[in-house]
Amino acid sequence: MISFNCRPATWLFSLLLFAATGPAPAGAQTGVPAGTEANKPPVPAMQHGRGPKKLALSNAEGALVTLWKPDLSRRELVPKMGMVSIPPTGVDNYHAVVVERDWCNVREAIVRYEYLRGKPSGESPGKLAAAIKTPLEIVPDPIPREHHRYYARAEAGFIVRYRDRVLPGHPVELTTSNGTSLHGISDGDGRVVLRIPDDFPDMVPGERDRRSAELSIATEYQTGGVRYQSALTAAYRVSPEHWQSQGWGLAVAGVGFAFGGLLSGRLSRDRKGGAK
């Protein structure tokens, strides 16, 4: 565990789950030696249900939780028993949940973008992404569209930013709740592209799989005697390539062409027979 002058600094970790379905997942700590129980990401309980979305936080003592709306207005959310309810806002678009906590000379932050339903907001998701919500931030570039998500095997871009400037050549780490970890470095524009791990266990080839898991992209930056630690969290899903392979597509197309040829020949013979 990383220790500082005052007390140990532990990273917050968030998981999204839906209210009234399934047990709340246990949180996880980061910043501890690899291979220990505390460092293993939790298995998310991602289930569909009715009611407000909820955010489960571990080690949330002293944390400030803020909900950012598409028009950049904000409201504070109060954690209760390790859970934060994300209330409906009445507008349709991405919202950002920002969790911040200060420990002496360490400032921790988590940002998560969630799509809420309601009336059209008239705002672009890019406006919310561009807003400075916490000093050190990993920003999706771009944010997935409404009906799109992060998928295993797909590449995803992110901007590493400190306040109003990007951080070129800056390291980031992506970890998943399935136990995968990989690293990347931002380019001259502060942008890093990562391929989301295809790490779902017990896959059945050709069978549709609707499972989801959690990913976290984290980094840290030190300036002015303050160490900033920040993470972006999101859900990702099984790659559709597992049941939408090109080989099957070509095979189906081949059968279609063959059937079309037989049908065409049959119709041609029928016309000739009818002309006699």
Q: How far, in whole angstroms, is CA 98 from its chain's centroid?
A: 14
Q: Are 69 and 97 in contact (CB under 8 A)?
A: no
Question: For residue 194, which phi and psi values (nearest 5 degrees)?
Answer: -125, 140
Report whether CATH 2.60.40.10 matches the domain 13-244.
yes
Q: Does this model's pTM top 0.75?
A: no
Q: Are 152 and 238 in contact (CB under 8 A)?
A: yes
**Domain ranges in the chain?**
13-244, 245-276
Per-residue pLDDT of the chain (276 residues; tens, 9 = 90+): 232 334 333 444 433 333 322 333 333 333 333 333 333 333 333 333 456 788 888 777 788 999 999 999 999 999 888 888 899 999 999 999 999 999 889 999 999 999 999 999 999 999 999 999 999 999 999 988 766 789 999 999 999 999 999 999 999 999 999 999 999 999 999 999 999 999 999 999 899 999 999 999 999 999 999 999 999 999 999 999 999 865 544 444 444 444 444 444 444 444 445 444
H-only helix segments in 1-49: none
Neighbours of 23 (CB within 10 A): 8
Q: How far apart are CA 84 and CA 50, in angstroms?
A: 16
Q: Are 194 and 236 in contact (CB under 8 A)?
A: no
Host H or E run for residue 168: none
Nearest-10 Cα torsion for 41, 47, 48, 50: -90
Residue 142 preceded by cis peptide, ω within 30: yes
